[in-house]
Structure 1
C-alpha cells in the first residue's frame, strides 16, 4: 500500500471551470441519494459558486494527491480577525474513503496557521460530512439552522427543497 501525499495549490483561473464541475458532481451524489434526483440545475448553482469564489478574502484551493487534482476547497480568510471559514470542500467522485479528505483538511489548517476559529456548514442529511467534520477534524456543531431558525450569515438558497443544516466551529488551540 502506497502512502499518498496531499498538498494544496491555489486554483488557476484556467482551471475554475473544471473545479466547479467536479465540485458539483461531488455534491450531487448526496443530493441524489437523499432526494432521488437533482432539482433544476447543478448544486450548488454556477452563480453561487462564482459568488463564493469571488467573495472578499476567498481563496479557491486545489487538493492534490501525488500532484494529481483530486478535489478542492474554497476558504475565506480574514487577515484581521483570523476567524476563517471553509465555504466549500470536496473530493472528486471516487476519491473518498482513503483518508485524503482528512489529509487535505490538515493541509488547509497548516496553510493558515494564524487561524483562531474555522467555521463551516453542511446539509442535515449529509451524514458522511457530519462524521468527517466532527469525528475526524475536531469541529463541534454549534447550531442547527432550519426554516424557523435561519442562518443570518448563510442565506437560504433555492438549490435544495429544504435548507436545513448544521453550523460547525473549530477553535484552534
Structure 2
C-alpha cells in the first residue's frame, strides 16, 4: 500500500535546499527542449521571494518519510482564489501517482478555495497532461508574443528566461 502524502511547511532557512531541488526538477524539461542552461530556473531570487512573502505558503511534499517534491501556494489574490505558483515532484517519483496524490493533498489543505490557477510553459507536455487530464484544470489562456498580457518570469539580466516565451494559464473551479 502506498504511504500517505503529507505537506510539511518549509522553514525560511530551507530556501536554498528547496531552490536546488526545484531547479533540478525543472532543468530536465528545459534541457530537453533548449539544451544545457547557464542559469537555474526558477532563479534563486524568485525562490527567496516566495519564502519571504506573507501571502505564500511553501511546502515540502512527503510520502511517508521520503521527500518527494514541493509546492508554493499564493493565497488569496482574489476572494477564495489561490494559485499553485510552483510545483515539482522529484523525477525519481514521476509516473507513480505521487503528483496527483500531492495535488489532492493541496486541495484538502485549502478547502475554502473556489478557483485554483496555475501556469506552465507550452513545451511542457507532461505538465499540460497532468493539469488537464489528471487534476481537472482547464486551459483558459495562452500567453505568447501575440498575447503577452502577463508578466512572465525574466532573468536577472532583464531578458526572458528560457521557456517563458509562451505559457498556458489553467484554472480549476472547485465544486
Q: 1:113 aligns with which of 108, 111, 114?
A: 111
8 Å contact 1:156–1:163 — kept in the other structure? Answer: no
- Whole-Å Cα distance in 2 between the matches of residues 9 and 51 of structure 1? 19
8 Å contact 1:56–1:76 — kept in the other structure? Answer: no
- Distance verdict in 2 for CA 1:28–1:111, change over 3 Å: same
- Whole-Å Cα distance in 1 between the matches of residues 104 and 14 of structure 2? 23
8 Å contact 1:4–1:66 — kept in the other structure? Answer: yes
Give the equivalent residue in structure 2 for 1:126: 124
* 1:90 lines up with 2:92 in the alignment: no
Query: Which aligned segments of 4 or more residues in structure 1 are displaced greater than 4 angstroms?
Result: none
Count of residue correspondences: 170
Cα offsets for 1:45-72 (capped at 9, x unmatched): 1112222333341010110010221110
5+ long unaligned stretches in structure 2: 155-159
Give the equivalent residue in structure 1 for 2:13: 14
- Whole-Å Cα distance in 2 between the matches of residues 71 and 162 of structure 1? 22
* 1:168 lines up with 2:167 in the alignment: no
8 Å contact 1:122–1:165 — kept in the other structure? Answer: yes
Q: 1:155 aligns with which of 152, 155, 160?
A: 152
- Whole-Å Cα distance in 1 between the matches of residues 115 and 164 of structure 2? 28
TM-superposed deviation, 1:159:
1.7
Give the equivalent residue in structure 2 for 1:42: 40
Q: CA RMSD in A?
A: 1.6
